[in-house]
């Protein structure tokens, strides 16, 4: 488990000619008792890895769908300790990498050293902290390295090429390409200029580049993966899980595996 597992899993898929699909879920949406079963369902549907959101009261990067999922989890009393405890007990039931997405406040309150120690014990492979600038990465870099957890950087559409080089050089596991200006959430259309942005990220990144924010249809998935290594889909996956539409989630995942656009 850990950073090496994440990197090797992704490289194995890419070496086979596959693109990567990472669904996002909010841990404890529906109660902590449904958490592991949701992970299993997404693995069975073909997820390359799963991003796990940690419920938080002030999610600055999250749009309405993910905010509501976080509120539902909080209403069930789900917290970081419960999520880690569930994984310590049942992580071996899940065969794909797990990446936490948490704001810095819950980690800081929990205790940074304690958090990374327990992440290792729980089989967490990577971590995204959207409100931690690269300049303050040293808050977490030492314990993350000690416990083998990849720290994943986000690069936005407004990042300069100099900044992209810096972020790409720091990112572990993969580089998260934010494809819209704004918060998360399903969109009807993909930014038509995103291809050039993704190509710049690919040129500078030593790790796979995955696009996220606003991706909600199989066509979006196909279009994005023309210029990067895979996608992250959150709001649409959460909506489909709420509606128990696993078939439609599988359609999204399958779009990275058989993409006719890649043959053009």
Residue numbers annotated as active site: 51, 62
* Four-residue CA torsion sign, 67, 71, 74, 76: negative
Residue 17, judged by CB atoms within 10 A of its CB (0-12, 13-18, 19+), counts as exposed
- The phi, psi pair for 154, rounded to 5°, reads -110, 135
Can you tell me which residue has the tokens 């704004």? 182
How many whole angstroms separate alpha carbon 79 and alpha carbon 93?
Answer: 21
- Residue 146 makes CB contacts below 8 A (sequence gap 6+) with 116
């Amino acid at each position: 488990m850990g950073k090496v597992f994440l990197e090797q899993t992704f490289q194995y898929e890419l070496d086979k000619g596959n693109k990567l699909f990472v669904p996002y879920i909010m841990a404890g949406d529906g109660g902590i008792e449904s958490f592991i079963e949701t992970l299993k369902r997404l693995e069975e549907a073909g997820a390359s890895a799963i991003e796990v959101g940690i419920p938080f009261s002030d999610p600055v990067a999250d749009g309405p769908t993910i905010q509501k999922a976080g509120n539902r989890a909080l209403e069930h009393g789900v917290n970081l300790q419960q999520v880690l405890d569930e994984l310590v007990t049942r992580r071996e039931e899940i065969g794909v990498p797990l990446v936490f997405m948490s704001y810095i406040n819950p980690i800081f309150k929990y205790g940074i050293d304690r958090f990374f120690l327990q992440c290792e014990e729980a089989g967490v492979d990577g971590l995204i902290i959207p409100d931690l600038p690269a300049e303050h990465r040293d808050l977490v870099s030492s314990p993350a390295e000690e416990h083998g957890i990849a720290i994943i950087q986000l690069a936005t559409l407004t990042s300069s090429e100099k900044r992209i080089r810096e972020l790409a050089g720091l990112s572990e596991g993969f580089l998260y390409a934010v494809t819209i200006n704004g918060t998360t959430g399903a969109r009807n259309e993909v930014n038509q200029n995103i291809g050039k942005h993704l190509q710049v990220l690919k040129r500078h990144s030593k790790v796979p580049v995955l696009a996220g924010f606003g991706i909600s249809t199989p066509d979006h998935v196909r279009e994005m993966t023309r210029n990067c290594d895979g996608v992250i889909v959150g709001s649409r996956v959460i909506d489909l899980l709420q509606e128990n539409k696993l078939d439609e989630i599988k359609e999204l995942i399958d779009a990275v595996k058989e993409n006719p656009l890649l043959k053009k």
